[in-house]
Every structure is written in C-alpha cells, then in structure tokens.
Amino acid sequence: MKLTVANVDFSYNSHPVLSDVSFSLDRGQVMCVLGVNGAGKSTLLKCLNRILTPHRGSVLVDGDDLLRMSQNNVARRVGYVPQRHPETRLSVFEAVLMGRKPHIRWSLGAEDYALVEDIITQMGISDLAMRSVSDLSGGELQKVIIARALAQSPAVLLLDEPTSNLDLKNQLEVMELICRIVETQNLSAVVAIHDLNIALRFADRFVFLKEQSVHAVSTREDLDSEMIWQVYGVRVALREFAGHTVVVPM
Ligand SMILES: Nc1ncnc2c1ncn2[C@@H]1O[C@H](COP(=O)(O)OP(=O)(O)OP(=O)(O)O)[C@@H](O)[C@H]1O
C-alpha cells in the first residue's frame, strides 16, 4: 500500500528537469521534496498527478500505474494543492464540493454532501462555509484548497509549498492538519517545501533533488548537515532544541 515512483524522466521541450527519479513512500507517511529554486520540485509533483506526463518511468499508487489511467481515475487517487490558486467566486462549501467531481456520475448524492461536511469540520473551517473563497485570507484559503483535495478521497496528497505566504501560527496549523489527516486517513503526502525546519519538524522522509536527479532520500534520523551542504551549498548545524531537530545556518 504505497506510492512508488520509478525512473521518472521529464523535460520541458529540450530542457531536462528530472532524470531517473525514484523513491517510494508508505501510507501514513509525509515526505518532503527539497532542493534549491529550479531544482524541479513543482515539476515532480505535476508528474505525480499527470498534469505533466513523464517521458519515461512509472508512478504506482498501491500498485496501479497512474501514467496508464484516465485523468478522472488519477483524480480519484491523487489530490493536488498547487502553489497558486485560481480566482473563484464560489462559496467555501461549493469549492470543497468541487473536489467530489471525479467521483460523480450524474448528480451529487447525500454521501457527497456528508463527506464534504465532515472534511470541512475536520479542517476547522465550518465558520467559513458560506463565505466567498475570494474574500478569504491566505491561511483560510490554504485550508479550503487542502479540503477540496481531500474531498477527492485520494490515496496520495500532493502539496506544493503549502506554508509559503502563511504566518508562523498558520504554518504550524496547516502542517499539523496535514500530518493528522495523513495519519487518520492513512494517506501518503508529498510536500514540496523550502523551509527545512518545517520539513524536519513534520516529515517522516525527505527527497533531495539536485541536478535533475535524486541526490539523496533520507529519514529524519539520517539527515545530516553534509547532505544540506551538498544540496544547498550552505554550512548548517543540526541541533536538538525543545524536542525538535533544528537547522541553524553557520
Ligand atoms: N512551463 C515551463 N516551461 C519551461 N520550463 C519550465 C516550466 N516550468 C518550469 N520550468 C523550468 O524547469 C525547472 C524546474 O522548475 P520547477 O518549478 O519545477 O522548480 P522548483 O524546484 O519547484 O523551483 P522553486 O523552488 O523556485 O519553486 C526550472 O529551470 C524552470 O525554469
């Protein structure tokens, strides 16, 4: 029961961005994708839900290859929270309900409404349900977009920089919510992120991208300062503080 990415290659025209990318992730785990600007983090997430189609390789969810499925079936398996959100005048409830689209044949059923209500409650956004999405703050909007992805009932959740533009309280709140949902719903989450301290605090595993390839895959325990130097070119110290490992640039 897991996400298995094997030998994925992707180029934009003749510009190669991903080469032979492989890693796997169990259900119930959060993986952060790390690397410098332009390393290919967003491109990788888009290859994992077929917004972009890899030129080679496979992306298996619980053994089924996403690259051979219809877009609708991909959307039943993979929820995606992009970096930028399109403008919409929908209410929060309607926007989250849109996440049910891949599962609907003719019309919405009572179970779709019940599931959406449940997700809105879990995400702590019930008070916003009737508000227009266009009037929300960045933190509120991020929770709504995550709720919409969860309404797809996915096995895998992809999040592209979910904490950028959020204040410290919302960064922690959104990451805690993601981890709680991954655990309670037994999903896998792949999170592209720049903030190493947030990554270290919340992720179980890390993929470091460098020069189109996977430079290293590590757990929290075996991540070391040398890896960070090799990927970011910055000397750091890893220190234990208040029960967390923190990265301190030197
Ligand atoms: N639509 C596109 N067409 C052509 N090249 C692209 C396109 N999107 C991204 N690229 C290029 O692909 C490379 C990887 O970009 P990508 O956005 O995946 O990196 P990233 O690691 O997510 O970057 P950042 O951390 O800055 O968000 C970059 O060189 C970028 O310029």
Q: Which amino acid residue places its CA nearest to atom 11 of ligand 1?
A: 38
What pLDDT sits at residue 83?
Answer: 87
From 9, 11, 14, 17, the mutation candidate for ligand 1 (largest count of ligand atoms within 8 A of CB) is 17
Tokens of 125: 């956004």
Nearest to 190 by CA among 48, 10, 18, 52: 48
C-beta 38 within 6 A of ligand 1: yes
From 13, 41, 212, the mutation candidate for ligand 1 (largest count of ligand atoms within 8 A of CB) is 41
Q: Give the C-alpha separation, 242 to 250, whole Å.
A: 20
C-beta 37 within 6 A of ligand 1: yes
C-beta 212 within 6 A of ligand 1: no
What pLDDT sits at residue 131?
Answer: 96
Q: Which amino acid residue places its CA nearest to atom 26 of ligand 1?
A: 37
What pLDDT sits at residue 139?
Answer: 87
* Residue 118 CB neighbours (<10 A): 12
C-beta 193 within 6 A of ligand 1: no
C-beta 14 within 6 A of ligand 1: no
Which three-class secondary structure state does DSSP give residue 59? strand
Q: Give the C-alpha separation, 159 to 137, whole Å.
A: 18
pTM value is 0.94
Full DSSP string of 170-215:
HHHHHHHHHHHHHHHTT-EEEEE-S-HHHHHHH-SEEEEEETTEEE
Q: Which amino acid residue places its CA nearest to atom 3 of ligand 1?
A: 12
Residue-wise pLDDT tens for the chain (250 aa)?
589 999 999 999 989 999 999 999 999 999 999 999 999 999 999 999 999 999 999 999 999 999 999 999 999 999 999 988 778 889 999 999 999 999 887 788 889 999 999 999 988 999 999 999 999 998 899 999 999 999 999 999 999 999 988 899 989 998 999 999 999 999 999 999 999 999 999 999 999 999 999 999 999 889 999 999 999 999 999 999 999 999 999 9
Q: Where are the domains of the chain?
A: 1-77+154-224, 87-151
What pLDDT sits at residue 1?
Answer: 58
What pLDDT sits at residue 106?
Answer: 79
Q: 91 exposed, middle or buried (CB, 10 Å; 0-12, 13-18, 19+)? A: middle
C-beta 41 within 6 A of ligand 1: yes
Nearest to 142 by CA among 104, 108, 176, 183: 176
Q: Does domain 1-77+154-224 have CATH number 3.40.640.10?
A: no
C-beta 42 within 6 A of ligand 1: yes
